[in-house]
A = this chain, B = another copy of it.
């Protein structure tokens, strides 16, 4: 470690005007009115092992379970589930589900995606336990999405403090997906009515990552540049940082700290406090807290330079290589793994060697015996 005060200051974030929904072309089919990221369905190879991870370690609540499937929710949620773990032969993402604003918006989703020419599937109420009539599509980015409005209500346990562990998780917050072409994916999500809150760009304006929201938080979906389509992670939120820390302490107590992949830390992007853990199938889960309100229509975009080594971790801690490289396979509507396409633009992990973990700012070469 050489003197830390020397390096030139890295580029700091800039503020750009907000991104209202683009004007649709005349005659275009309007997108469904999406409320928020609502639940994920993950294929797991050993539901008992997964249940132990999500329930005994992370503290999620079981709404229902049978031999092959576990339906989970967090303490503040009153819909039937925000996570479904379903037994399968290979770990994968089966669906990312968005809640829409009314039953009619489920139909709107069907119309919208049929017009896009992608696979669309109507699902009767109960096709997923606890969920009403729904539409599943394989979206233009290659992801299996679901749109639903109706869902079974179950008790919110937000004041059942006697059930809350010290690491109580409040609710599902967002999805993060890996896509080869972030700019294209951002255009697609903006057309769906999402607004950008933050992004990471290169000096050449290459877009490395983008965060977009529907509810009043920093994001419901994040787009991470890489070989895709793959699922980077799903994220649950807690109320305070202490709850994120306790998740880690508890994993340590059970001698399961190997589940911790990255963090805890403070994000630059989103300003949230976080830790990333990996489940028994290596699906990645973020525990996330205290980002900020984004609900105003002109909310500006905070744009980070890819060379800014506080963008991914505000404290400049290096991002572990697995976090950039690994992600979950996604399935098509028939349960077949989607092919992965290589990112053609620069990879963030590559351009930030020197800026992210291995940079001037964190030269970790030993200087044994030197004056300091």
Contact = CB atoms under 8 A, between A and B. Distances in A.
Contact of A92 (B15, B241, B371): B371
A257 interface: yes
Contacts of A24: none
Interface in A52-107: 76, 78-79, 90-92, 99, 101-102
B368 A326 contact: yes
A352 interface: no
A23 interface: no
Q: Which secondary structure dominates where chain A touches chain B?
A: loop
Contacts of A242: 240-242
Interface stretch (A118-126, A184-192, A280-288): A280-288
A76 to B, nearest CB: 5
A337 to B, nearest CB: 7
Given A295-B216, A321-B364, A252 B372 contact: no
Interface in A321-372: 321-322, 324-329, 337, 340, 361-362, 364-372
Interface residues of A, number: 110
Contact of A369 (B5, B227, B369): B227
Interface in A9-46: 9-10, 12, 15, 35-36
A201 interface: no
A67 B5 CA distance: 22
A366 B171 CA distance: 30
| Interface hub of A322, A324, A372 (most chain B Cβ within 10 A) | A372
A315 B251 contact: yes
Contacts of A325: 366-368
A136 interface: no
A271 B367 contact: no
B292 A158 contact: yes
A284 to B, nearest CB: 8
Given A162-B250, A241-B245, A371 B329 contact: yes
A253 interface: yes
Given A241-B240, A258-B362, A253 B4 contact: no
Interface string A250-264: 111111111111001
B99 A271 contact: no
Nearest to A315: B248
Given A248-B315, A264-B264, A296 B91 contact: no
B159 A253 contact: yes
Contacts of A112: none
Given A5-B258, A258-B316, 13 more contacts: A4-B280, A36-B295, A78-B299, A79-B296, A101-B297, A159-B249, A166-B168, A215-B295, A240-B241, A257-B310, A320-B364, A325-B366, A326-B370
14 contacts: A1-B278, A3-B282, A5-B258, A5-B280, A36-B296, A78-B299, A92-B372, A158-B271, A161-B249, A161-B253, A166-B168, A170-B293, A325-B366, A325-B368
